Structure 1
Amino acid sequence: MGFLDTIFGVINDLTWGWALIPFLVVLGVFFSAASGFVQFRFFKRMFNVLRGNDENNDPNKISAREALFISVGGRVGGGNIAGVAVAITAGGPGAVFWMWVIALIGMCTALVEATLAQVYKRTQPSGDYRGGPAQSIVLGLGENYRWLATIYAVCLIASFAIGFNAFQGNTVAGAALDSMEIPRLWTGIALSAVTGLIVFGGIHRIAKAADVIIPVMAIGYIGMAFVVIVLNLFSLPAVLWDIVANAFGFREAVSGGMGAAIAQGLRRGLFSNEAGLGSAPNVAATAYVKHPVSQGITQSFSVFIDTILICSCTAFVILLADVYQPGAEDIDGVALTQQSLVEHLGGWSQYFLTVAILLFAFSSIMYNYYLGENALSFMTDNPAAVLVLRLAIMGIVFLGAVAPGATAVFSFSDPMMGILAVVNLLALMMLFPIAMRVIGDFRKQLAAGVAKPIFDPARFPDLDTDPTAWPDAADAPNLPADRPVVATSQTPATT
């Protein structure tokens, strides 16, 4: 066991330790600049999905909004409550500023990876769609890269479906025990049963559950933070100045000053919003939209919701209270957020936070399960394998809930996610020219006065797309044909 811990520790150091964070940042900046900062150009369109303006009304399909809520449910979790508190404790208030920066950059990365997942999605016999980075690698780069896609799929199952679900079960059980004195055994049984009810219903039941849970979760948490801000409105300017001053080293709050603020802000921001990690595109591919970029914009919006909105809520709750003391590390994580809330709103708020953690964790379990199922479907189409996975997820959630120390077994999750991110970013670099062509098609239609651009696979004959996944193609406007980028064209993979 010690040998394995050493191996996983080395992998973790080689990825998250020093290589992956700069890689994510540099690539995100490049994508933003090369695309003309599409995350800002299309910002107004992001809100259309909440109003239903960009949705198709087929009840048998996963809508753009449902796919958004599933991905938000996965992104929003402990990182938004405990992770922000850790970032502030270790990096000072300036870490919040750098979380905002990495979110604005990551919005473009999320748009690109979701767009590619949509381009290469495939229609299943059930009529649903499947896709994601593994499928994009094989169909976009060719069969010679299947080994890379397989590494991605294995790491996705290991990190999200197995490791993170154990952690989520442990988080739920711990919160229920601490605030409501509910034994871990009963929490584990109840959570495992509800998890089984959802996962055996497939992606449609997951989508319907997310469509209810996520708005309640997000609106409730943001509303609570809004009340805190209103109660401390005259203190807000000083807090905003502390964030900016500490971010640029004008005022040192912790040892390390500006360097600590940047490191903690970037690291916690990326852990929270997952932009570039290759997880959310698996969900993005399930949506029924008229153009791949439409879902890319939607997924970019989920990064905005996760970090700019919800993480900021936690930051303001902490920084507007007197519980946090710069340089002090005796209170951090959930305890810091919880005690800050109690100071603002009274003792009842700790129960509110417990409920929020329960909802956050459960939405993440649904999301993590689907990522595992999608990765498994890439490697095998045997229905028995899916059944085994569903039963295993129920068992893993139960194990994580009932055994406080059992989650140590799943310490491989972070290094596996590190490999996952490296593979995804390598694929994104190679497939970025294709994403730019599709984004160019979207822009061209907007410039021609088309309010809702429509993707026509026939305009991209060199790409291995699935025409049945684009039933609206017949209504696409008649514009000049797309011109492939010769330097990056690939021989379509056979399927």
Structure 2
Amino acid sequence: MLWTYVLIALLIIAGLYFTIRTNFVQIRMFPEMFRVITEKRKNDTGVSAFQAFTISAAARVGTGNITGVALAITVGGLVLSFGCGPLQRSGWRPGLSRVHLASCIKKRTEIRYRGGPAYYIHKALGLRWLSILFVVLIVLCFGMIFNALQVNTITDSFQTAFDTNRLMLALILAALTALIIFGGVKRIVKVTQLIVPFMAVAYIAVALYIIVTNIEQIPGVISLIFSEAFGLSQAIGGGFGAAIMEGARRGLFSNEAGMGSVPNAAAAANVSHPAKQGLFQSLGVFFDTMIICSSTAFIILLSTGYMDVEGEGATITQFAMSQHIGEWASAFVAIAILFFAYSSVLGNYYFGETNIEFLKNGARWLPIYRVAFLIMGILGGIATVELVWTMADLFMALMAIVNITVILLLTKKAVTLLQDYTKQRKAGKDPVFYASQYPEIKNTECWGDNEDER
């Protein structure tokens, strides 16, 4: 598909451009990303940096980490493990800039902050029509399509493991989701900050056990990855190109590289400097790609016969894990998918809600969005995954192209924020941003000189 080639080129070019403009910030300030985890709220407005991280991680760490990786490997073979990672990491560098912008150019209500691409497109570029287009894209993509994909994977994995009725499970999930989303952002945050750490630790622990018990096979797997990546037969047959394209597709679904969803969560955080959220949220890409996705990849690549498995991604992962830990692997993967996917459902809902509220009559549209979100989840639970993926491909590409183009136009402002942060850190300070010192950055209503203006 044409969008694949355009998107790959845009991700690589933007990644290289931001790397140079920020002086390799993803390497240079990697330790700093961990330091800002402890940032606490300065007042009762918004959520903490960690809570904002759990919302974005909830959406990032979903079924793409288990089923998406499995499907990608079966399409591209071992080379996919080589092709997927670099493209996912290409979204890491633009991710810093978009989160900087969203955290800086946002809106404050009585109890929370709202921000994201729709907000900074309108306030920084004055292109309200493009902001509204982005709202439509993210609501359809995350609020509807991704929501359906996540529920579809849950019902599919539970049907495989426990022979459950897919429609009944979808209805139960819809009822549980309704209880949470109608309780507002605070209730979503409370749930995600419990689910995300638990599911991540459990899944990584099992993956580490499998890797350690098969440690002697690791060099062989890595060797095969690179031999297939650069093999002449694969190059002639188009295997490498297919893997790269599939990597872009699965990479977008797994960690939303460049799509512009994470800034919606980052903007909700109450921190002393916008760059702190940029650094903290960048850990999400590292966590998602280098840890969770790699865990799934090694679980599968350390098994045998996975290329002959019939079924979707969940079935492949269940088959591979059962070789390592026995028959209960199918149930474990199904439960892991439940936690991974359900947290993504909540994160996806939040992204849609934030953008609905950007609209002039957002409060009127919100109940309609909530009902449509629940209905789409039910339909996704019984739909065929091919149809849903076809719809997702188009909207993922459009969102990424719009957002990355906008970030390129606003690079100077994002770099200014990072330079201000770096300057203060070199002076031994805990950075605090004051918008009055940078009049060239407009519409920064949440960064006044007084505490009540922040």
Q: TM-score range by the shorter chain?
A: over 0.9
CA distance in 1, matches of 2:388, 2:290: 33
> Can you give the 5+ residue segments of structure 1 that lack an aligned partner in the other structure?
1-12, 477-495
TM-aligned CA distance change 1:251 to 1:54, over 3 Å = farther
TM-aligned CA distance change 1:198 to 1:138, over 3 Å = same
Which residue number in structure 2 is paired with residue 139 of structure 1? 123
**8 Å CA contact retained: 1:93, 1:253:** no
Q: Secondary structure at the match of 1:62?
A: coil
Which of 354, 359, 383 does residue 374 from structure 1 map onto? 354
CA distance in 2, matches of 1:127, 1:43: 32
Which residue number in structure 2 is paired with residue 44 of structure 1? 31
Matched, 1:246 2:228: yes
Which residue number in structure 2 is paired with residue 90 of structure 1? 75
Which residue number in structure 1 is paired with residue 133 of structure 2? 151
Which residue number in structure 1 is paired with residue 407 of structure 2? 428
CA distance in 2, matches of 1:354, 1:340: 13
CA displacement, residues 280-324 of structure 1 (integer Å, 9 cap, x when unaligned): 111111111111111001111000011100000011101111123
Aligned partner letter, 1:103? Q
Which of 416, 426, 440 does residue 437 from structure 1 map onto? 416
CA distance in 2, matches of 1:337, 1:254: 29
CA distance in 1, matches of 2:54, 2:329: 25
Pairs within 5 Å for 1:5-24:
13-16=1-4, 18-24=5-11
Aligned partner letter, 1:21? I
Aligned-residue offset at 1:469: 4.9
Which residue number in structure 2 is paired with residue 80 of structure 1? 65
Q: Secondary structure at the match of 1:296?
A: helix
TM-aligned CA distance change 1:252 to 1:246, over 3 Å = same
CA distance in 2, matches of 1:71, 1:405: 27
Which residue number in structure 1 is paired with residue 94 of structure 2? 109
Identity %: 38
CA displacement, residues 347-395 of structure 1 (integer Å, 9 cap, x when unaligned): 0011010001111111111111111111111113442321221122122
TM-aligned CA distance change 1:409 to 1:337, over 3 Å = closer
Aligned partner letter, 1:457? A
Which residue number in structure 2 is paired with residue 211 of structure 1? 193
Which residue number in structure 1 is paired with residue 329 of structure 2? 349
Aligned partner letter, 1:443? T
CA distance in 2, matches of 1:196, 1:461: 43
Aligned-residue offset at 1:225: 0.3
CA distance in 1, matches of 2:97, 2:83: 22
Residue-pair matches, total: 454
TM-aligned CA distance change 1:104 to 1:123, over 3 Å = same
Aligned-residue offset at 1:260: 3.5
Q: Secondary structure at the match of 2:259?
A: coil
CA distance in 2, matches of 1:111, 1:418: 20
Matched, 1:333 2:316: no
CA distance in 2, matches of 1:98, 1:406: 23
**8 Å CA contact retained: 1:163, 1:411:** no
TM-score (norm 2): 0.93
Aligned partner letter, 1:350? S
CA displacement, residues 98-154 of structure 1 (integer Å, 9 cap, x when unaligned): 323223332211111111101101111x32000000110111112xx1111111111
**8 Å CA contact retained: 2:445, 2:453:** no
TM-aligned CA distance change 1:291 to 1:364, over 3 Å = same
TM-aligned CA distance change 1:410 to 1:37, over 3 Å = closer
**8 Å CA contact retained: 2:154, 2:337:** yes
TM-aligned CA distance change 1:407 to 1:456, over 3 Å = same
CA distance in 1, matches of 2:451, 2:220: 53
Matched, 1:458 2:442: no
TM-aligned CA distance change 1:59 to 1:235, over 3 Å = farther
> Can you give the 5+ residue segments of structure 2 that lack an aligned partner in the other structure?
none
